[in-house]
């Protein structure tokens, strides 16, 4: 077997590919950390009003029916520079108590299976 011999062009291509891979993986990792930090409510947040004040952002809010029970679902914004597969979502009891949340609904199978799948989410319009 012969030795592999790489020229400057081949080495440049490999270096460019390595830099691209590091950039893509690094960006996904950093955006995941940012989303968790930015959209995870403080432990002191227990109600819708506290969450809205804590986040300081507008939330698209909908009433949601899950297995015959009514809830309030608050949907946060998508962050353009980050790479989430879905927005943050917060689920509240009708009385306003925070029950559950996810910083990225597209990556959270547990949240989707518990609250979104089997609900009337896709038929709802904003209520607040």
Residues 52-64 pLDDT 10s: 888 888 788 888 8
Q: How far apart are CA 76 and CA 69, in angstroms?
A: 22
Token code pair at residue 79: 């962050």
Confidence of residue 89 (pLDDT cuts 50, 70, 90): very high
CA neighbor of 91 nearest in space, from 111, 74, 69, 68: 74
Domain ranges of the chain: 8-123
pLDDT digits (tens, 9 = 90+) for 90-99: 999 999 999 9
Is the pLDDT reported for residue 67 higher than 90? no
More confident residue, 35 or 59: 59
pLDDT at site 83: 62
What whole-number distance in Å separates Cα of residue 34 and Cα of residue 38? Answer: 6
pLDDT of residue 51 exceeding 70? yes
């Amino acid at each position: 077997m012969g030795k592999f011999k790489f020229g400057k062009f081949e080495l440049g291509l490999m270096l460019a590919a390595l830099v691209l891979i590091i950039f893509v993986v690094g960006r996904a990792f950093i955006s995941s950390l940012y989303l968790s930090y930015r959209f995870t409510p403080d432990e002191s947040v227990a109600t819708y009003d506290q969450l809205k004040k804590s986040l300081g952002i507008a939330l698209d809010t909908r009433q949601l029916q899950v297995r015959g029970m009514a809830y309030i679902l608050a949907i946060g914004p998508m962050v353009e520079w980050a790479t989430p597969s879905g927005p943050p979502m917060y689920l509240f009891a009708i009385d306003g108590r925070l029950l559950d949340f996810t910083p990225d609904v597209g990556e959270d199978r547990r949240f989707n299976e518990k609250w979104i799948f089997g609900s009337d989410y896709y038929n709802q319009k904003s209520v607040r």
